[in-house]
Each structure stands twice: as C-alpha cells, then as structure tokens.
Amino acid sequence: MTAWSKLLIATTRLIDLHDSAHEPGSPFVQVSQEQRRGLRDGYWLDLGCLLLDYLLDEDFATNSAFVSQSRCLNHLRESYPGLPHDDLSFVINLLSTPSEIHFRQPSPSPTTSDDATAEERSRRSTKRTALIEKQGQTGQVRLTPSGRQAVTLASQVEDLLYSEYDAAKVLAALARGDFSRIPDITNQILLAIRALTQELRRVRENPTREGKLSALLDNERHYHNALTNIQQTLLDARAQLATPRLMERFESWREAQSDDWDLRVLSSAIGRVLTAIENLSRRLSELLADIAEGRIQAMGVIDFQDMARQLLEAPPAGALRDAVVARMMPLHVQATFPRLAPLVPLLESRRADASPVALVFDEARDAAPEDPLLARFLEARGPALRQRLRRAPLSLPEALTEGWHRFEEGDCLAQLLNTFVDTELLAPGLTVGIDATPFELELDDGRRIEGAVTPSLGFFQEQHV
C-alpha cells in the first residue's frame, strides 16, 4: 500500500460526507455502501499519482517551471509501456479542472441576533482544488499550490522515521519565541509514535502478519536511530526551558497573549513525547526478544473448525460436557456468562521475564544512582550547617540569603532543597516547620524563587497540650 493509498483511505469517507444528499433532520440514519463508478482497477488513479510525483520532482529541479507533456509521457511509459497520449491528456484535463468544495467555518460575528444570517455567513466554498496547472497554448503543465500540498501530505503519511525533523521544529520554535506552536508539534510526533506502538501491539497479538513483521525487523535499526535523535532533541529543548534567559523571553511573550499560558504546559507536552518514546522502545525490545527466543504467539486467534474436529476425535468427559452445555447453551430465558478469571490466562500473553531496560537509552552514559555532588555538599557544608541549625531554625529565604547554596564556585540550590525535603541527610532530629507567610527572593543570577509558605529547618520540639 503506497502513501497515496493511505492518504485516500483517510479522506474517502470525508468526500462521501461532502457528496451526501442526506436530508438534514431525516430519521433514516442507516448508511449503505457507496456505489462508485469507474473501471475499479486503479488504472487512472495510478497514472495520476505517478504524474503528480514526477511533477513534484520537476518542480524542485526547475524551480516551478512548466513541463511539456511529452516529457511526462516518457516518464509514465517507464511504468506503462505503450501508454497512449490520450490517456495522459485525460488525466491532465481532469486534474487541471477545478471542482467546488463546500464547507463551513465560524462566523466572524457570532453575537448577531439574526441566526439565519449568521448561518449563511458561516458557509464557505472554494474551487482551488485543481492539482495541475496547464497552459492554454502550449499544453505544458506544472503543479498548483494545492497539488504541491497534496503530494507533500501524501509523502508524510508514514512520518515516524522522519519525526526527528519535527522534533527539531521544537528547538526552532524556542529560538523564534513561537511558544504556542510547541504543543501542536509535539502532538504530531506523539501521534506518529502511538501509531507505531499500536502496530507493534497488533503484530504481537497476530504474528500471522508476516509482511508487517518483516518490515519492522528490516527497519528496526532506523526506528531506534530516529527515536534516539528525537529523544535527544526533546531533552535539549526541555533543558532550554529551565534557563533564565528563556524564562524571561517566555514571560514577555505571555504578557502579550490573550490566553493564560504556563511554562509547565510546554514542559508537560515534551514530557508526554518522552514517555511515549520509552514505551515504544520497550515494546520494540519485547518484540525482538520474543522473536529471538521463539516466544511470539498469537493471542485471541482461535481456529474453531480445528477445535470442533478435536472434540469429535476425542470427546470430553460426560460430566464436563453436560456442565458446559448447561451453562453455555441458551436453553433458558436468563442469560448465563462464564467467569472471567479462568479466561484471563487464555487472553493475555505474559512474558516469563520482562526487562525494564529500553533500547533507546544508553546505559553506559547513565548517571550513578547516587548524586556525587550532593555527597560532596553534605560532607563539606554539613557540619557547619548543623551548628547553624543548633543555634536557631533556618528558613529557606534565610538559607539563600546567607549563601548556603553556594559550593565549589557553583550552584547547589537543588542539593540545599534536598535537605529541606529529606531532613535525615543532615541529622536525625531535624524537622521542617511551615510558616504561612509567603516569600519572594531574587538570586544574584536573576532567578526568582517564590513560595506561598515559608519552610524552616530546625530541631523543633513537639508541644503537648
């Protein structure tokens, strides 16, 4: 199935809706199979798709110059030897003749009191549907903007292996300050990843699809390369979201927007894609492991004819047969259903050992389980910090003002916050007290830290009433 076929699959039913003569409000809602005219052999469609692909290549090579029909005919004859010129002329005439499409869009003034007038204004139509532009005198042809868009859309139907270029658009949007485009770009990547994830699930459930299984195995290395590049690009983008310079640009951009935006929305959109990448990589790893170990099997695919033959050859015991017939056959009015628990092992495929390691991540580059910077921070600043806490409790604003987060000519703000979260890092008797007073503090590097309450670290004594 070509990319053009998949594009038509996604749009055919929409064309059926557009051409439907169904009366609005009619109670007859049943739909029958559409009767389509034509040869039903795909000949004309294939000629048109081959012609559009060729014109796109010529469009890039000649900078949108017109192409003679003789050159188009020579190209098409590579696929259809002896193709008559009349067939090419028919395809060109049909693709260069526009057809009107009617649609609706929100009214520019929805608050008007005249509902009929508002509905009339919401109706739109266009005739910019011609895919080929033909000169009247010479008959030379080239793609129209609509034709160029159609060929581009068709070539991007299977875009998972090329979604890494979509991931690069996130970095471009951050560089230009076009923050509103980031959720849309990540959603496009997410759709491509989820499509392949569902395809992997179908292959594992029904391994009889040998063609799709072999295609996945052939492209396995390319899938992992694409996923690795997408992951690295999005990690770089998420790291940029935490820089003070980008935060300032985002705040300036948000003030000019009518909607309420939050930087966490962008980080969450990127995080969803990273989670989907990890899930897809794990499924691909499990599929390859099952194939290598010979454990791939069909789930839910039952040959009932073979099962009936086995029952005829070796009938079950009489008591078992009577019990099954009594419980499963519709001999009474009341419905009977089998218990779900005994059927679950038959419907699920459980792996003996599931590996939590995803192929996308390189374990050699993973960080150590313990933070060495936190260990050095506690070893160097811990004794002095404990002596300070024995004198008086230390609030978070005071700790930042006194510079407890500075260590080794660097910034250990995260390590200092860890001592407020896990007090056992410093001393067993430490606790955190919460004051309802909000605080707002600006660090030397321009970062602003705000809190609705003020946490304080100290050796607090419990008060008994």
pLDDT for the residue numbered 300 = 43
Strand blocks (E) in 76-230: 101-104, 123-126, 132-134, 141-143
The domain limits of the chain are 1-12+40-105+123-157, 163-293, 304-336, 372-458
The model's pLDDT over 267-285, given as tens digits with 9 standing for 90+, comes to: 999 999 899 888 888 877 7
pLDDT band at 48 (very low <50, low <70, confident <90, very high): very high
| C-alpha pair distances (Å), 15 with each of 46, 47, 140, 330 | 19, 21, 29, 44
The total number of residues shown for the chain amounts to 465
Average pLDDT of the chain is 78
The token duo for 396 is 């978070």
What pTM value is reported for the model?
Answer: 0.45
Residue 440: strand pairing partners:
450
The token duo for 2 is 């070509």
The model's pLDDT over 327-367, given as tens digits with 9 standing for 90+, comes to: 766 555 555 566 666 555 555 544 444 445 444 444 445 44
CA torsion, points 176, 177, 183, 185, in degrees to nearest 10?
A: 0
- The tokens 């004794």 sit on which residue? 383
What kind and span of H or E run contains 433?
Answer: strand 431-435
What amino acid is encoded at 58 in this protein? E
Nearest to 405 by CA among 435, 381, 421: 381
Nearest to 269 by CA among 182, 193, 180: 182
- Check if CATH label 1.10.1670 holds for domain 163-293: no
d(CA 202, CA 196): 10
What amino acid is encoded at 267 in this protein? S
- The tokens 């260069």 sit on which residue? 96
The CA-based angle 371-372-378, given to 5 degrees, is 95
Percent of residues in the chain assigned helix, strand, coil, to nearest 5: 55, 10, 35
What CATH number should be reported for the domain whose range is 1-12+40-105+123-157? 1.10.10
